[in-house]
Amino acid sequence: MRKLLKIFMFLFFLCAIAIGGVFLLLGREKMLVHLEDIKAYMMENVEFLEVEEKEPEYITLYLKYGGTVVSGPLLSETDTEFTVLWKEQEFVIEKSQVLKVKRKGEAIEWEYNNPMVIKLKNGSVLDACIKDIKKNRAVIESSLDGSSYETEVDINDVEHLVYKPISNKESREIEKKIKKNFPGMKFYGEGNVTIVTDANINWVKECRKNIRVTYTQLYLKFFEVFEGREPSFQNYIVIFDNYEDFVMHAIEDGVPGWAVLGYYHTEEKVTYLFNVLGDNFSKIVYELFIGGTTRSIDAQADMIKNSYRDGHSAIVIDGQAKYIKDKIWQMYNYILSDCRNITITTLRHEFTHALFSNWGIQNVKVSRSEKKRKMSKKREEIFGSGDKEKKKRWIENLVAYVGENEDYDVKASNSWIVEGLATYSETYPVGQQNDRWLYTFQEMIRNDEVYPLEVLTYYKIGSFPGMSAPAMLNAYSQSWAFTTFLMNVYPDEVVLYMKRSCSEGVRSDKEELALFLECLNKTSKEIDTEFVEYIKAKYEPLDDPTVKQLLYIHNLFKEFM
């Protein structure tokens, strides 16, 4: 029996090596899962499973007094009253106290007096204007019977903010173009954010939840910068469930879709994102990683059982096979968690770009060269022909083209603040430790590769164009670290700088740097030294995340090695 188990574990070890090779080859960012195919197994073996919920019948009641809105499942209705499940309790509301009623599926115009309303965690909505933010409290102004009054709300009681939809000409043109380009996708609107996608409803909910949080936390944290401004157009976010569709659309936009998971198109004013756990692409990887592997283990177990033809041996072998497959599922769910985080992190990052640009706080508009427009036209010609050889040459030429310089409009915000705020917003809550960027910046410190502030402020076009890939990665990491340092040590000065920068129209890198240092009342050398010393003292050294990932897999299977 011991010999039999050794044979079986040797076969498994070969299988595990193959799996590890696939994992390293594809990279953790492309390990996907098809949730529908594995739902039955995960119900028994995984603690968390996102299952599509059946929507109850919801009703929204706009009350006459106080600007309060009650929303929840409708339990019953009579000629004189509604019974609604609200705050996890049954509430009876007289119809005489209701101004308007919105039932699920009914379209209704913006019913509030203010362009932004506050939804509290208890389910109520405050139709009030935020006048000021004092530490952890928001000062709001409400109207009642023609009079206005101020009160304070604890920020911790706020679930999220909702801004009214933007239905101007520019927004309608953006929507019209999206409908033309993606006729099979559905539109999901909430406030001034519209998600357009072919992904399932569970992902719409997940993305919507993260957009709410990012929007709300950034608005409250940078209230003084947002105050007095308005968004220019509706925020549209197109989420692709199919990887090929995303890559091909990105290529048309001049973006290397195979190297990114999302981007904000500054000319079209649309955010594009690939759902890493999309159903279509994940089927292929699921079959490769789980389906084929588990079938191989079952086949090996059957082969060994047929050799011994012993009832007791069969029980032992089946038990060992299940034990091994459970280990594989544990590793797979680890990857699943990583993939989910990658999608949401990218969404929060790119939405931050869109938000600050839409409100006129960061001028991240990029004017591409005439060469790009000609390439886009040529791309349509080649891909429309169906010639595979032409397509292949096009891809090869495009890869070479991506590295070339483009003619950009230099009237844009500094790259470090643009990308710094985007990476700063990747976490939940906004501004928390981001291990992805922290480890890289700690490596920069150890290798004495930290950029002086004068170098960092030289770049003014989005994602540090012209830098090599490693240098660009370092620039992103330092932008995150620098922004995090500033927001923790000099938050008021950062807000002042952002207000003045977007109002005064500073353009050259020297002028921008001078303004920044003036707001901080520091010299460049002083801030460089203080910044690095802060990161050293604030954060414990991190292990290489790649090594950490491999150790997890090694520890999972070490008993078989």
Ordered mean pLDDT values, 10 residues apiece, the chain (561 residues): 44 43 38 38 40 62 70 84 79 82 65 89 88 91 75 93 93 95 93 93 90 96 94 96 87 80 91 82 66 80 77 78 80 74 92 94 55 49 56 48 38 77 95 94 94 79 70 91 97 94 73 90 94 97 80 70 57
Give me the pLDDT at residue 280, please: 65
Q: Please tell me the distance from the alpha carbon of residue 457 to that of residue 451, in angstroms, as a whole number.
A: 10
Domain boundaries in the chain?
2-52+280-320, 58-163, 368-392+402-407, 409-561
Q: Is 438 helix (H, G, I), strand (E, B) or coil?
A: helix
Q: Are 262 and 211 in contact (CB under 8 A)?
A: no
C-alpha distances in Å from residue 553, one per residue of 128, 265, 290, 457, 559: 52, 38, 15, 41, 11
Cα 235 to chain centroid distance, Å, stands at 15
- How far the first Cα of the chain sits from its last, in Å, is 19
- The tokens for 236 are 């549209």
Length of the chain equals 561
Q: Are 281 and 318 in contact (CB under 8 A)?
A: no
Residues of 427-462 as b/e, b for ≥16 C-beta within 10 angstroms?
beebbeebebbbbbbbebeeeeebbebeebbbbbbb
Give me the pLDDT at residue 28, please: 38
Q: Which of 198, 201, 204 is nearest to 246 (CA)?
A: 198
C-alpha distances in Å from residue 414, one per residue of 161, 264, 488: 28, 16, 20
Q: Please tell me the distance from the alpha carbon of residue 291 to that of residue 285, in angstroms, as a whole number.
A: 9
Q: Please tell me the distance from the alpha carbon of residue 10 to that of residue 324, in angstroms, as a whole number.
A: 12
Residues of 46-80 as b/e, b for ≥16 C-beta within 10 angstroms?
eeeeeeeeeeeeebbbbbeeebbbbbbebbeeeee
Instruction: Give just the sign of the alpha carbon dihedral 300, 302, 307, 308.
Output: positive
3-state helix, strand, coil in the chain (%, to 5): 55, 15, 30
Q: Is 236 helix (H, G, I), strand (E, B) or coil?
A: strand
Question: How does DSSP assign 455-473, residue by residue?
Answer: HHTT--SSS-TT--HHHHH
Q: What is the pTM of this model?
A: 0.73
Give me the pLDDT at residue 395, please: 46
Q: Name the helix (H) or strand (E) containing 366.
A: none
Give me the pLDDT at residue 469, please: 77
The residues, any chain, with a CB within 8 Å of residue 540's CB and separated by 6 or more, are none
Give me the pLDDT at residue 117, please: 92
Q: What is the CA radius of gyration of the chain?
A: 27
Residues of 22-36 as b/e, b for ≥16 C-beta within 10 angstroms?
ebeeeebebbbbbbe
Q: Are 550 and 558 in contact (CB under 8 A)?
A: no
Q: Could you give the angle at the alpha carbon of 472 between the alpha carbons of 470 and 476, nearest 5°? A: 120
